[in-house]
Chain A
């Protein structure tokens, strides 16, 4: 069944968690790094997204630690979540590959075409 496409911040959060369980701040740093600092998650957006992802069963709480006297909770990707991420990544890859090959032909046309 076709699904609604993932928004970019959601996609990046799932990608961050695909490397292994991470806590909130770690996800923020990772997303910034993956996107080349283009997407900078703020705490409100992050936790609203995590709330929805947990509701949809794509993400789950992993473990809790006390660091410097503060609670730190780690999140992990569920099997459903990794499947969803894989589907979305494949969709993006397929679109990108069509775009790239057409642009290549376009560029070749410009280079060797009629003046």
Chain B
């Protein structure tokens, strides 16, 4: 049956799109299915079938690479991120707006309104992708979240002493990554418990207080940093207690980046209100070098995680 084996040979070559582990487990049965659905006398795979095999193989490779390399907790942690962090980001922005409004009422200075102006577009940047992703339009959510992420990152690079811009850029970038690489906010909502929500909201509000206290001069930089660190540690403990440990551990690693960096950026911005602007490059290094270190740490932590799939060639 040379005709059959010519077709079979071509199908086998197409199976190269699939990871080795999948080929060992399912290769033979897939050949059986492909040959069964082929027409009599067919010698070459049809183009749509070939493309479909390639895409299917790539999809399985991507899924296996993500789960195998970073551990099964990462997609869930990203899903929680895509659900909880836009909410936390919005809470922080609203707290910021409330603090400014209160400051305006007390001092009667209308100029403070300029500080509040970015709040509404930022709220939309957090809320709009979340709403789209919640309704299942994940591709649209990623597209919508991509623009502010790119904009904020540019702003953060060019004006690193505007501390909040650094924090917002990180929130925005991680939101895009979380939406693209995870099953989405509905999955995140399933992983989170009511207690997790309590931890996230409390941490968002409690963490905002020392940040704004420093900006408004109610608290010194050092005391504010200590308060901030205390909130962060409590929140980390809370997350570990209310969610499965692999998910919580990876979420904490991911959250450490924006929380740490926004705190650091606020503190450096506080320094530069009085200092010379030539130190902008130094603050840039201070803020972004730790970010790189943290990203490497997350990758290393992920590699050390348990390999659940046997025979995974990575």
Chain A residues with Cβ under 8 A from B49's Cβ? 42-44
Contact between chains at A25 and B33 (CB < 8 Å) = yes
Chain B residues with Cβ under 8 A from A43's Cβ? 30, 33-34, 37, 49, 52-53, 56
Contact between chains at B22 and A25 (CB < 8 Å) = no
With both beta carbons as reference points, the residue of chain A lying nearest to B187 in the complex is identified as A4
Q: How far is the CA of A24 from the CA of B187 in the complex (A)?
A: 28
* Chain A interface bracket (under 10, 10 to 19, 20 to 34, 35 or more): 20 to 34
Interface stretch (choices B57-65, B117-125, B141-149, B207-215)? B57-65
Chain B residues with Cβ under 8 A from A2's Cβ? 186, 189
Contact between chains at B26 and A73 (CB < 8 Å) = yes
A 9-57 contacts with B by CB, 8 A: 23-25, 28, 42-48, 51-52, 55
A55 to nearest B CB, angstroms? 7
With both beta carbons as reference points, the residue of chain A lying nearest to B186 in the complex is identified as A4
Cβ-defined partner of B59 (8 Å) among A23, A48, A67, A71: A48
Contact between chains at A28 and B33 (CB < 8 Å) = yes
* Interface of B (DSSP majority class): helix
Q: A3-B186, A5-B136 are in contact. Are A44 and B33 (CB under 8 A)?
A: no
A1 to nearest B CB, angstroms? 5
Q: A25-B37, A44-B55, A46-B33 are in contact. Are A71 and B60 (CB under 8 A)?
A: no
Q: How far is the CA of A81 from the CA of B33 in the complex (A)?
A: 23
Q: How far is the CA of A52 from the CA of B52 in the complex (A)?
A: 16
A49 to nearest B CB, angstroms? 9
Q: A1-B189, A4-B183 are in contact. Are A47 and B30 (CB under 8 A)?
A: yes
Q: How far is the CA of A81 from the CA of B272 in the complex (A)?
A: 58
Is B91 an interface residue, CB under 8 A from the partner?
no
Q: How far is the CA of A23 from the CA of B67 in the complex (A)?
A: 26
Chain A residues with Cβ under 8 A from B32's Cβ? 24-25, 67, 70-72
For this complex, 17 residue pairs linking A to B, each with C-beta atoms less than 8 Å apart, are: A1-B186, A1-B190, A3-B190, A4-B187, A42-B53, A44-B51, A44-B53, A44-B55, A44-B57, A47-B26, A47-B60, A48-B59, A51-B22, A51-B60, A70-B28, A70-B29, A71-B29
Give B contacts to A, CB under 8 Å. Answer: 22, 26, 28-37, 48-49, 51-57, 59-60, 63, 67, 136, 183-184, 186-187, 189-190
Q: Known contacts A25-B32, A45-B56, A47-B26; can you find 6 more A-B pairs with CB under 8 A?
A: A1-B190, A2-B189, A24-B33, A48-B55, A70-B32, A70-B35
